[in-house]
Homo-oligomer: A and B are copies of this chain.
Amino acid sequence: MNPAIVLSPIGSVRSPFTDTAQIPKGPGARHDAEGVLEVLPDLEPGLADIEGFSHLFVLWIFDRAQGFDLLSRPPTDDRPHGVFATRSPRRPNPIGLTVVELLGRDGRRLRVRGVDMLDGTPIVDIKPYLSGVPAERIRRGWLAEAEARASTRDPGRGDPGGGVGQR
Protein backbone atom coordinates (compact mmCIF):
# COMPACT_ATOMS: atom_id res chain seq x y z
CA MET A 1 0.00 0.00 0.00
CA ASN A 2 1.14 3.51 -0.73
CA PRO A 3 2.80 5.68 1.88
CA ALA A 4 1.13 8.55 3.69
CA ILE A 5 0.20 11.66 1.71
CA VAL A 6 0.92 15.09 3.15
CA LEU A 7 -1.34 18.04 2.27
CA SER A 8 -0.91 21.74 3.02
CA PRO A 9 -3.84 24.15 3.18
CA ILE A 10 -4.19 26.42 0.13
CA GLY A 11 -6.37 28.83 2.10
CA SER A 12 -9.28 28.94 4.51
CA VAL A 13 -13.02 29.52 4.70
CA ARG A 14 -14.71 32.63 6.11
CA SER A 15 -18.11 31.42 7.24
CA PRO A 16 -20.92 32.65 9.51
CA PHE A 17 -20.65 29.38 11.47
CA THR A 18 -18.46 29.17 14.56
CA ASP A 19 -20.08 26.06 16.04
CA THR A 20 -21.22 22.88 14.28
CA ALA A 21 -24.62 23.22 15.99
CA GLN A 22 -25.27 26.29 13.79
CA ILE A 23 -24.86 24.40 10.51
CA PRO A 24 -28.15 23.21 8.94
CA LYS A 25 -28.27 19.41 8.79
CA GLY A 26 -30.70 16.66 7.97
CA PRO A 27 -33.76 16.42 5.74
CA GLY A 28 -34.82 19.78 4.39
CA ALA A 29 -31.58 21.50 5.42
CA ARG A 30 -30.93 24.56 3.26
CA HIS A 31 -27.35 25.39 2.42
CA ASP A 32 -27.61 28.99 1.29
CA ALA A 33 -25.19 30.58 3.75
CA GLU A 34 -22.73 32.96 2.13
CA GLY A 35 -19.03 32.91 2.88
CA VAL A 36 -15.60 33.57 1.42
CA LEU A 37 -12.90 31.18 0.21
CA GLU A 38 -9.65 32.98 0.95
CA VAL A 39 -6.69 31.60 -0.99
CA LEU A 40 -3.08 32.16 0.15
CA PRO A 41 -1.46 35.20 -1.52
CA ASP A 42 1.21 33.09 -3.27
CA LEU A 43 -1.47 30.92 -4.90
CA GLU A 44 -3.68 33.73 -6.26
CA PRO A 45 -2.47 33.18 -9.88
CA GLY A 46 -4.05 29.70 -9.66
CA LEU A 47 -7.50 31.38 -9.58
CA ALA A 48 -7.15 32.82 -13.11
CA ASP A 49 -10.39 32.37 -15.12
CA ILE A 50 -12.29 30.80 -12.23
CA GLU A 51 -14.88 33.62 -12.50
CA GLY A 52 -16.44 31.90 -15.52
CA PHE A 53 -17.68 28.93 -13.51
CA SER A 54 -20.99 29.10 -11.69
CA HIS A 55 -20.24 26.33 -9.19
CA LEU A 56 -17.10 24.96 -7.55
CA PHE A 57 -16.08 21.89 -5.60
CA VAL A 58 -14.32 22.83 -2.38
CA LEU A 59 -12.21 20.18 -0.66
CA TRP A 60 -11.45 20.99 2.94
CA ILE A 61 -10.37 19.47 6.24
CA PHE A 62 -12.59 18.62 9.20
CA ASP A 63 -9.89 20.19 11.39
CA ARG A 64 -11.96 20.05 14.56
CA ALA A 65 -12.90 16.37 14.27
CA GLN A 66 -10.76 13.74 15.97
CA GLY A 67 -10.64 10.05 15.20
CA PHE A 68 -13.21 8.11 13.19
CA ASP A 69 -16.00 5.54 13.46
CA LEU A 70 -16.60 2.91 10.79
CA LEU A 71 -20.29 2.86 11.76
CA SER A 72 -22.17 5.88 13.01
CA ARG A 73 -25.64 7.29 13.43
CA PRO A 74 -26.01 10.48 11.35
CA PRO A 75 -28.24 13.37 12.48
CA THR A 76 -30.62 12.38 9.67
CA ASP A 77 -31.39 8.91 10.97
CA ASP A 78 -31.81 6.85 14.12
CA ARG A 79 -29.92 3.89 12.62
CA PRO A 80 -26.16 3.45 12.13
CA HIS A 81 -24.57 3.40 8.66
CA GLY A 82 -21.07 2.82 7.29
CA VAL A 83 -18.94 5.95 7.32
CA PHE A 84 -18.44 5.84 3.51
CA ALA A 85 -22.23 5.91 3.10
CA THR A 86 -22.45 9.11 5.19
CA ARG A 87 -21.04 12.63 5.35
CA SER A 88 -19.82 12.14 8.93
CA PRO A 89 -16.85 14.34 9.91
CA ARG A 90 -15.34 11.39 11.81
CA ARG A 91 -13.80 9.65 8.76
CA PRO A 92 -10.52 7.76 8.24
CA ASN A 93 -9.30 10.78 6.24
CA PRO A 94 -11.11 13.88 7.51
CA ILE A 95 -11.74 15.48 4.12
CA GLY A 96 -14.93 17.46 3.52
CA LEU A 97 -16.46 18.20 0.12
CA THR A 98 -18.91 21.01 -0.58
CA VAL A 99 -20.41 22.30 -3.81
CA VAL A 100 -20.72 26.10 -3.67
CA GLU A 101 -22.10 28.68 -6.05
CA LEU A 102 -19.51 31.29 -7.04
CA LEU A 103 -20.95 34.79 -6.55
CA GLY A 104 -17.87 36.83 -7.33
CA ARG A 105 -14.14 37.20 -6.99
CA ASP A 106 -12.14 39.94 -5.30
CA GLY A 107 -8.48 39.10 -5.94
CA ARG A 108 -7.70 36.04 -3.84
CA ARG A 109 -11.14 36.00 -2.21
CA LEU A 110 -14.05 34.05 -3.73
CA ARG A 111 -17.50 35.04 -2.49
CA VAL A 112 -19.66 31.93 -2.49
CA ARG A 113 -23.10 30.65 -1.51
CA GLY A 114 -23.64 27.28 0.12
CA VAL A 115 -20.92 27.10 2.77
CA ASP A 116 -21.45 24.45 5.43
CA MET A 117 -17.98 24.66 6.97
CA LEU A 118 -16.93 26.30 10.21
CA ASP A 119 -15.17 29.67 10.09
CA GLY A 120 -11.42 29.16 9.67
CA THR A 121 -11.72 25.70 8.05
CA PRO A 122 -8.58 24.85 6.02
CA ILE A 123 -9.15 24.43 2.26
CA VAL A 124 -6.99 21.91 0.38
CA ASP A 125 -8.35 22.21 -3.16
CA ILE A 126 -10.83 24.04 -5.38
CA LYS A 127 -12.06 22.56 -8.68
CA PRO A 128 -14.58 23.67 -11.29
CA TYR A 129 -17.95 21.89 -11.24
CA LEU A 130 -18.56 20.73 -14.81
CA SER A 131 -21.65 18.54 -14.81
CA GLY A 132 -24.14 17.02 -12.44
CA VAL A 133 -25.92 13.68 -12.38
CA PRO A 134 -29.54 14.32 -13.40
CA ALA A 135 -31.88 14.16 -10.39
CA GLU A 136 -33.92 11.33 -11.88
CA ARG A 137 -30.84 9.06 -12.01
CA ILE A 138 -29.78 9.56 -8.38
CA ARG A 139 -30.71 6.97 -5.73
CA ARG A 140 -30.12 8.09 -2.16
CA GLY A 141 -30.30 4.80 -0.25
CA TRP A 142 -30.75 4.94 3.53
CA LEU A 143 -31.04 8.73 3.42
CA ALA A 144 -34.19 8.64 1.28
CA GLU A 145 -35.63 5.96 3.57
CA ALA A 146 -34.80 7.99 6.70
CA GLU A 147 -36.40 11.08 5.14
CA ALA A 148 -39.53 9.10 4.30
CA ARG A 149 -39.77 7.90 7.91
CA ALA A 150 -39.12 11.42 9.23
CA SER A 151 -41.80 12.98 7.03
CA THR A 152 -44.31 10.34 8.19
CA ARG A 153 -43.55 11.36 11.79
CA ASP A 154 -43.38 15.07 10.99
CA PRO A 155 -45.12 15.96 7.71
CA GLY A 156 -43.69 18.98 5.91
CA ARG A 157 -40.14 18.37 7.06
CA GLY A 158 -39.00 16.10 4.23
CA ASP A 159 -37.27 17.65 1.24
CA PRO A 160 -36.29 14.94 -1.20
CA GLY A 161 -34.90 17.58 -3.54
CA GLY A 162 -32.09 18.49 -1.17
CA GLY A 163 -29.75 21.40 -1.64
CA VAL A 164 -26.59 21.70 -3.68
CA GLY A 165 -24.52 21.39 -0.49
CA GLN A 166 -22.49 18.20 -0.56
CA ARG A 167 -21.19 18.03 2.99
Q: Mark A109-122, 1 if CB is under 8 A from B, else 0.
A: 00000000000001
Identify A134's interface contact among B7, B9, B132, B145, CB under 8 A: B132
CB A144 to nearest CB in B, in angstroms, measures 8
Contact assessment for A124 and B97 in the assembled complex, using a CB-CB cutoff below 8 Å:
no
Q: Note all chain B residues with C-beta closer than 8 A to A155.
A: none
Contact assessment for B85 and A52 in the assembled complex, using a CB-CB cutoff below 8 Å:
yes
Integer count of this chain's copies in the complex: 2
Identify A143's interface contact among B12, B93, B130, CB under 8 A: B130
CB A167 to nearest CB in B, in angstroms, measures 9
Q: Note all chain B residues with C-beta closer than 8 A to A50.
A: 82, 84-85, 141
Interface residues of A in 22-63 (CB under 8 A from B): 39-40, 43, 45-55, 57, 59, 61, 63
- Asked if A127 lies at the interface with its beta carbon under 8 angstroms from chain B, I say yes
Q: Note all chain B residues with C-beta closer than 8 A to A95.
A: 7, 59, 95, 124-125
Q: Chain A interface secondary structure, helix, strand, loop or mixed?
A: mixed
- Asked if A21 lies at the interface with its beta carbon under 8 angstroms from chain B, I say no
**What's the Cα separation between A135 and B135 when bound, in Å?**
10
Contact assessment for A97 and B127 in the assembled complex, using a CB-CB cutoff below 8 Å:
yes
CB A127 to nearest CB in B, in angstroms, measures 6
Contact assessment for B53 and A140 in the assembled complex, using a CB-CB cutoff below 8 Å:
yes
Further 4 A-B residue pairs, CB within 8 A, beyond A5-B94, A93-B124: A49-B81, A95-B125, A130-B162, A132-B164
- Which residues of A are at the interface with B, using a C-beta cutoff of 8 A? 1-2, 4-10, 12, 39-40, 43, 45-55, 57, 59, 61, 63, 70-71, 80-87, 91-95, 97, 99, 122, 124-135, 137-145, 161-164, 166
